[in-house]
A and B are shown apart, each in its own frame.
Chain A
Amino acid sequence: MQTKPVAQFKNIKKRIGSKLIIDDISFEVNAGEIFGFLGPNGAGKTTTIRMLFGLISISEGEISVNGFSITDDFEKAIAGMGGIVENPEMYKYLTGYQNLVHYARMYGNLTKERIDEVVALVGLEQRIKDKVKTYSLGMRQRLGLAQAILHKPSLIVLDEPTNGLDPAGIHEFRMHLRQLAEKENVAVLVSSHLLGEMELMCDRIGIIQNGKLVDIQTVNDFLAKDEVVMRVTFTVDDVIKAKACLNKLYKDQDTIVKETSISILMDTVRIPDIVTAFVHEEIRVSGIDKETQTLEDKFLKITGGSGIA
């Protein structure tokens, strides 16, 4: 894989009034990689993406795409980019096809064939001649992706792209992005507040909190650092006996007891031991759930528990 930077953020700051919304962010997105921009709502993901697209001014620093500054060389920089900012908002009273024609005209030299090709790629052939107001959110996302890749950009930026997609749609979407990154060497910048999604989709993840870029890691590093201690929930027939049993094994761990289940924070390696202990006490176990870590948990860990904005 090449490591040619397509998008470069150099010491970006954004001030609104006296408030510093984005505080000194620097990173690069390379050709052929999917970069995940991870952070809770209000951390500054969308603001950063807006600056990248030139929709809002940059207070300090410079963003360049393919070597062109978005502030000084807007047309050249933006020509290499495509994407969605927040929601895929299209003209609802036009058909999907008319929407694409609308954007294609703004690039001047796109053919009808290219539009058809993109429509087929995102799987909208059946509905492309229908008005967008009849589309589901998932279909709008597909149309959003279609307009983003219409002009074969070298950087694709997608803000919360899997909003409104069903699991099959998310899977398909991921495949599209992978293909674009690997086969066409496109750089992809994806923002999300869902960690699980990012892990599956991205090569590298940058974590943003309160307008600061806290950490950048490859997904592999991210997972390696992942501790095995997590909250495990056992569905049992007798929670009282189970609680007594767990208290014996983990003396100072709090348990959460519900009507048919009990959960505890523990090292997942020891799950079999617990099951054995339960069986020994004649507690019938009908289910074990490892709670997937939310971004918040992860976030608290990485940022030293300073909380979410």
Chain B
Amino acid sequence: MRRMLNLIQNENMKIYHQMSTYIMLGLMIVVVIAGGFISTNGGPGQQATTNSDWRTELTEQNTNLQETLKGIQSQGIAVESAQIEKLIKTNNYRLEHNLPPEYGVWGFVTEFSVLVDLVSLFVIIIAAGIVAGEFNTGTIKLLLIRPIKRWKVLLSKYIAVLWFAFVALILLFVATFVVGGIFHSFNGLNQPYLGYKNGNVTEINMLWHIFINYAYACVNLLMMVTFAFMISAVFRNNTLAVGISLFLMFTGNLLVGLLSNYSWVKYILFANINLTVYTDGTPVVKGMTMTFSLMVLAVYFIVFNLISWYVFMKRDVAT
């Protein structure tokens, strides 16, 4: 156990002494700051800025929405009418409970939780390099001639990658919180998030809501990073691991879309990677459930890891 901690410490030392790591994390913060500027100049933050007569605004909005709803209902488009109903009910809830719609710091943090995808990209780059990089430079030889079994060396690398993901996510959260606060004020920190379930508006703790947002986005992160790690361990080639992983990450949904007519598409990783479809949205194939997707993800996860470990332990090191 002690030895394992030492190994992880080693891997961390190697990650955090490389320039590229800081370039990536710096880039992420630059993107967040740029987002702060954009959101105050005509972005979504601006139009939602609270003013004193938010009550009249919401009431007006609701009247308009009611009319649109009637128009739609006569045409019988169910999906859109549900969306509008949700908006009306949320507005009513705000009026009843005196909760002004404030964008503020939480609005910014929630909106920029999409940057978890950027974090995924960076973690994929780290995962791709952490095994293949040692082969590229030849340092793998001096690493594996120590009294430590190969699977432990690989495990320490995997843990270090996940730790890096954790650090980057925390940094993303802190950066969006600080930038959001500076650009949109830190008012309304106790504001709840208004969720919508079975036709009822519910109050959800804002931090919990953001955590859930991150967690859903991390399913993608974990799967793609594990995939990149596998390619890295199997092909021992940095570029290949980054390339294939990013290619799949960006074309995965397209692929599922193209194949959506086949029933077996539901066994494809990318059809299961977005779990938010089970809370609001529609799954790729009718009849898919959260449990089904979690099981498919678990199978992929185990297979990726088995391949990584098997190949890393068995293959000759002849660099």
Contact = CB atoms under 8 A, between A and B. Distances in A.
Most A Cβ at <10 Å: residue of B9, B18, B141, B149: B141
Given A55-B141, A92-B137, A107 B317 contact: no
Contacts of A90: 139, 142
Interface in A71-91: 74-76, 78-79, 81-91
A54 B317 CA distance: 9
A97 B17 CA distance: 13
Given A75-B147, A91-B14, A93-B19, A85 B142 contact: yes
A174 to B, nearest CB: 23
Contact of A98 (B17, B138, B139, B318): B17
Nearest to B148: A106
A6 B90 CA distance: 79
Contact of A107 (B137, B142, B144, B146): B146
B10 A102 contact: yes
A91 B139 contact: yes
A103 B144 CA distance: 10
B7 A106 contact: yes
Nearest to A105: B6
A156 to B, nearest CB: 12
A86 B17 CA distance: 25
A107 B10 CA distance: 12
Given A54-B144, A89-B138, A108-B2, 18 more contacts: A50-B317, A53-B144, A55-B141, A56-B318, A57-B316, A74-B149, A81-B145, A83-B145, A87-B138, A89-B141, A90-B142, A102-B13, A102-B14, A103-B146, A105-B6, A106-B6, A106-B10, A106-B147
A82 B147 CA distance: 10
A108 B6 contact: yes
Interface in A35-88: 50, 53-57, 74-76, 78-79, 81-88
Nearest to B318: A56
Interface in B122-144: 137-139, 141-142, 144
A94 interface: yes
24 contacts: A53-B144, A55-B316, A55-B318, A75-B148, A82-B145, A85-B141, A85-B142, A86-B141, A87-B138, A88-B142, A89-B138, A89-B139, A89-B142, A91-B14, A91-B17, A91-B137, A93-B17, A102-B13, A105-B7, A105-B10, A106-B3, A106-B148, A107-B146, A108-B2
B147 A94 contact: no
B64 to A, nearest CB: 60
A62 B291 CA distance: 50
Nearest to A95: B17
A192 interface: no
A147 interface: yes
Nearest to B9: A105
Contact of B147 (A50, A79, A84, A101): A79
Given A55-B316, A86-B141, A98 B148 contact: no
B146 A76 contact: no
B142 A103 contact: yes
A106 B8 CA distance: 10
A76 to B, nearest CB: 7
B17 A89 contact: no
A87 B138 CA distance: 8
B149 A98 contact: no
B14 A78 contact: no
Contacts of A81: 145
B138 A78 contact: no
Contact of B145 (A85, A88, A92): A85
Contacts of A107: 146-147
Contacts of A82: 145
B309 to A, nearest CB: 16
B94 to A, nearest CB: 53
B3 A56 contact: no
A147 B142 contact: yes
Contact of B318 (A50, A105, A147): A50
A29 to B, nearest CB: 16
Contacts of B138: 86-87, 89
Contacts of B142: 84-85, 88-90, 103, 147
A83 B139 CA distance: 13
Contact of B13 (A50, A83, A92, A98): A98
B41 to A, nearest CB: 40
B144 A55 contact: yes
Contacts of B137: 89, 91-92
A78 B6 contact: no
Interface in B145-163: 145-149
Interface string A8-37: 000000000000000000000000000000
Nearest to A108: B3
A106 B6 CA distance: 7
Given A81-B145, A107-B146, A56 B17 contact: no
Interface in B1-55: 2-3, 6-7, 9-10, 13-14, 17-19
A291 to B, nearest CB: 36
Given A55-B141, A102-B10, A103-B142, A93 B18 contact: yes
B276 to A, nearest CB: 39
A147 B142 CA distance: 9
Nearest to A14: B316
Which 9 interchain pairs have the tightest Cβ spacing?
A89-B138, A56-B316, A105-B6, A79-B147, A106-B146, A55-B317, A75-B147, A85-B141, A53-B145
